[in-house]
Amino acid sequence: MSKVHNFSAGPSILPKEVIDACVEGIQNFSGTGLSVLEVSHRGKEFIAVVEEAQATLKELMGIPEGYEILFLGGGASMQFLMVAYNLLETKGAYLKTGVWASNAIKEAKYIGNVEVVASSEDKNFSYIPKNYTIPSDADYFHCASNNTIYGSQMQSFPDSPVTMVCDMSSDILSKRVDVSKFGLIYAGAQKNMGPAGVTVVIVRKDILGKVSRQIPSMMNYKVHIDKETMFNTPPVFPIFAMLQNLKWVKKVGGVAEMQKRAAARANLLYDEIDNNPLFQGTVETGDRSQMNACFLLKDTALEEKFNAAWKAAGISGIKGHRLVGGYRASMYNALPIESVEALVNVMRNFNK
């Protein structure tokens, strides 16, 4: 079978050895003679998977003491509501940088008062707002570190006077982050950590239990912590697959190596976008995402021919989101530099 260069925005590319390990687990999990798809989530073999995944993630991200790691269902979209349920008492402060940040704001408004401290909606979310003030009377400040649809990324995080919460769904494990700056980090796994189906929540325990409302059990972080992330049946196979991917990240050099690879991929592609007269980027240069590079053909009449060219080269998944148009090359951790080279070669040859 010919090589496919997978630039899917998510569910995204996984390393071949991770897929191979998942296949083995489906056929014979941990020597049990059973598939991981059919084992008890309370059996000692799967409990060991959960504990190893938590320990490996803690090591990779340098998660300090005082934090708990949960593996939950519902996707990152469920966290939009869970965050507000558990933390919003008087007011939540939000940074509006794209669709998912907007959805988080929408969900939080069902629970209480929300203040949008800054927004880039005025320019179709093509930049990250700067020089905004986080109100000190807010219960927390919420931001999204990377915007998959629009291709912008926070290059640094503010020094927040209140608990900082971050949706890191699409760039977690791609660069080093000081976890101690955050009260809560959440991320859907299907970009850099594993397949769709499990959401990771990293929460500092001392920020919980401070709201006056009653919280439904399924929405209550403390309930999930007390039940060791098994209040209900967890997404067993996605957690197993995530562990295989975390082990791969550790094996190849950890987050430092992922950060190095991300920079190399992004620099190669953005350099071509900026120097090829047929193309242009859609995001302000200093706010460009290393995970999702969005770009346009200056002459849309050429799109049909360009589409044929990249498809012929075995490239998949670079059509842009309907809200932006053009093209979006998603370059998550498992994408080899050779795939970016293949795309760049197509762009260069197309210009010739």
319 flagged as catalytic: no
250-288 b/e (C-beta count within 10 Å ≥ 16 → b): eeeebbeebbebbeebbebbbebbeebebbebbbeeebb
**Catalytic: which of 96, 100, 139, 287?**
100
Amino acid identity of residue 50, one-letter, is V
Residues 6+ apart with CB under 8 A from 248: 15, 17, 18, 334
On the 0-12 / 13-18 / 19+ scale of CB atoms within 10 A, 233 is exposed
Q: How many degrees, rounded to 5, is the angle at CA 74 between CA 68 and CA 77?
A: 90
119 half-sphere exposure, CB direction, 13 A CA radius: 14
**Catalytic: which of 139, 167, 171, 287?**
167
Residue whose tokens read 């196979």: 237
Tokens representing residue 77 in the block: 């979209």
191 flagged as catalytic: yes
**Catalytic: which of 96, 171, 175, 191?**
191
Under DSSP, the state recorded for 181 is: G
**162 phi, psi to nearest 5 deg:** -130, 170
- DSSP element (H, E) containing 146: strand 146-147
Residues acting as catalytic residues = 100, 167, 191
